């Protein structure tokens, strides 16, 4: 959605200062610096990554939780006519086994 509406959100309607796509989370500090440092009134990064797997992002766990959702891959290589995942999340890419084991340990 951020990529599709980027100009509308930033320039036309000026609803937000920063637009960030799902794979640009590592770029957030730089984008915030652009805004707070006065370099620009808005900043954007909506690039989809071909290799981002979020492998080093460990989710917060509630104390005493007995179940969890563990992401092992992102995207999809199936181009089903009814599905937008390959177009919004990109091609399928998997996390390394070690990062998955580390997360659930």
pTM over the 0.95 mark: no
Segments forming the whole domain that contains residue 80: 51-105
State residue 2's pLDDT score: 64
- CA pair distance 70, 68, nearest whole angstrom: 6
Q: Is the pLDDT of residue 84 over 80?
A: no
Pair 79, 101 in one domain: yes
Q: What's the pLDDT score for residue 88?
A: 77
Please name the residue ranges forming H helices in 8-82: 28-36
Average pLDDT for 26-42: 90
Rounded to an integer, the average pLDDT of 60-78 is 80
Residue 46: pLDDT over 70:
yes
CB contact at 8 A, 22 and 89: yes
Q: How many domains does the chain fold into?
A: 2
When computed from its CA atoms, the radius of gyration of the chain, rounded to whole angstroms, is 17
Asked if 55 and 22 sit in the same domain, the reply is: no
Q: Are 2 and 42 part of one and the same domain?
A: yes
């Amino acid at each position: 959605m951020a990529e599709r509406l980027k100009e509308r959100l930033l320039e036309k309607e000026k609803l937000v200062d920063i637009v960030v796509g799902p794979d640009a989370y590592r770029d957030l500090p730089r984008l915030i610096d652009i805004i707070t440092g006065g370099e620009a009134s808005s900043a954007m990064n909506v690039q989809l990554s071909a290799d981002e797997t979020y492998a080093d992002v460990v989710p917060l766990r509630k104390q005493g939780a007995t179940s969890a959702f563990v992401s092992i891959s992102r995207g999809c290589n199936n181009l089903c006519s009814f599905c937008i995942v390959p177009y919004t999340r990109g091609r399928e890419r998997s996390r390394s086994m070690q990062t998955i084991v580390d997360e659930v340990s």
